[in-house]
Amino acid sequence: MASKKELIAAQGFSRRRLVTAFTSGAPGGRELEPSSPLAGIIVGVVISVLIVVGSLAVGLFGGRAPQGWDERGLVIVADNGARYVALNGTLHPVANLASARLLAGEDDGTLAIATLKESQLGDTPRGNVTVGIPGAPDALTPADSLTQSGWTACIASGGGVAVSVPAAEDATRATTVPDPRGALVKAEGGGDLFYIWGPYRFPIAAVDAGRVDLALSTDRNQAVEVPGTWLNLFVEGPAITPLTMPGSGQPLSPAATAATGMGDALTVGSVVVLTDAQGNADGTYAFTADSELAPLTDLALNLYDRPERVPLTFSEAESLRRLPSAEIVPREWPTAQPEPLTGAPCAQLQHADDQGRASTELVAATEAPEAAGITVAPGAGALVALGSAQGGWGLVDESGTLYPIPAGKPTALTLLGYPDVDPPRIAAPWAALFRDGPQLSADAALAGAGT
């Protein structure tokens, strides 16, 4: 057993070792650097910020609704998907998105949308009648996705018309012919013949069909049968008929005879070809009963009843240039014999002109659609002006339904989200191809509330 003296010595040794450890530094002669207090401070600040942000997020998304949410806008209840339109502190059940926009949209085309929990609605007053327009669209095409041209209406292989509205980015890549071509068609039922070329449909009388077939290199027995709804997409032009000059064979006026210097070699109806100094043809003309020169296109010459030409010298041709001119060939006719259309005949809506009017052109599809119907590309749609300036507008959604917007209500376009869209004006037959939807207006949207 250690003595008292030995215990005192041991305690002294332990105390000296402890003092030496605090004063002599690390082994190897290195001094220990005290750690910086900033690290602890930074960690504390970061934790504090996270706590504050988390608290704000919980307050914003979990327990506190955005300011003014119940004054004007669309409210979606996250718990059950219910939708309300907020108007002046009252929530009204709303039928669809289009109605919500018409009732609570802003002047810049935006719509405030708040997604809240049922608990956040609290005791906010709620209407007991659903407002809105039954059958109005629930999905509105964004303004930059509207397809304002490139629609096609093709004759289906099974009969009828197949309408297609492509996506906006695909509208310019629609299948078309490389140059204007023509197609001979016959109307369903009556069997009336029409020649389709460009934006026109030209009637062809049955009595003239044989002569016109020769001029156009068509075969009326092979004419494609088309419905009237498709024919009406084209503007009716003047009938294509054989050309006969009134007074054909009669002498020209004395003044014209003297001007030509050719005596009775030229008569009313005579066809001449003017040439330039190099002998190149410079136009084909026929003499009218008024001794005027009427230009003849290649197609008109094929339809003319006196196609033989009177030969002229250059000096004789120059003397005829001083005669007055006349027009006997309709300007709408093709100037030459068009190439025949190959493929299924289609009408295609073209870009609007300087007056905002869209036109129709005959194009060809490489394959005929199998069945009639309406196809709108997913997410696509259109906004167009209908008929005359008093016709209002029409909104086409991806279901192929056209919803009329009444004239005199341009604010409806803004409320629906189209403040900067300039709709092209289309002819009524294009609008008639789509399903009929209800009229879109703020007044109609309010009708559900009985106001």
Domains and CATH numbers, the chain: 45-132 (3.30.2390.20), 250-323 (2.40.50)
Tell me which residue has tokens 């023509």.
182
Share above pLDDT 90 across residues of the chain, in percent, rounded to a whole number? 54
* Mean pLDDT confidence for 7-29: 55
Report the range of poorest mean pLDDT among 15-19, 300-304, 422-426. Answer: 15-19
* Mean pLDDT confidence for 233-238: 97
Do the Cβ atoms of 99 and 146 come closer than 8 Å? no
Among candidates 432, 401, 405, which has minimal Cα distance to 416?
Answer: 405
Report the range of poorest mean pLDDT among 53-62, 202-211, 239-248. Answer: 53-62
CA angle (16 as vertex; 15, 21 as ends), nearest 5: 100
Q: Is the pLDDT of residue 93 over 50?
A: yes
Residue-level pLDDT at 38 = 62
Per-residue pLDDT band for 131 (boundaries 50, 70, 90) equals very high
Encode pLDDT of 162-171 as tens digits: 999 999 888 7
Among candidates 317, 334, 118, which has minimal Cα distance to 212?
Answer: 334
Q: Encoding tokens for residue 2?
A: 């250690």
Return d(Cα 232, Cα 210) in angstroms, integer: 25
* Mean pLDDT confidence for 403-429: 89
Residue type, 216: L
Residue-level pLDDT at 416 = 93
pTM of the model: 0.78
Beta-strand pair 382-386/425-426:
parallel
Residue-level pLDDT at 421 = 92
Return d(Cα 199, Cα 181) in angstroms, integer: 11
* Mean pLDDT confidence for 276-295: 87
Q: Is the pLDDT of residue 377 over 90?
A: yes
* Mean pLDDT confidence for 73-95: 92
Strand order in the sheet with 152-155: 360-365, 344-349, 152-155, 161-165, 373-376
Residue-level pLDDT at 208 = 93
Among candidates 393, 404, 396, which has minimal Cα distance to 166?
Answer: 396
* Mean pLDDT confidence for 50-73: 65
* Mean pLDDT confidence for 332-358: 89
Q: Please tell me whether residue 238 adopts helix, strand or coil conformation.
A: coil
Per-residue pLDDT band for 2 (boundaries 50, 70, 90) equals low
Residues contacting 256, CB < 8 A, separation 6+: 266, 287, 291, 323
Query: Is pLDDT larger for residue 106 or for residue 6?
Result: 106
Residue-level pLDDT at 189 = 86
* Mean pLDDT confidence for 236-252: 94
Calculated CA dihedral for residues 215, 216, 219, 223, nearest 10 degrees: -140
Residue-level pLDDT at 317 = 83
Residue-level pLDDT at 396 = 98
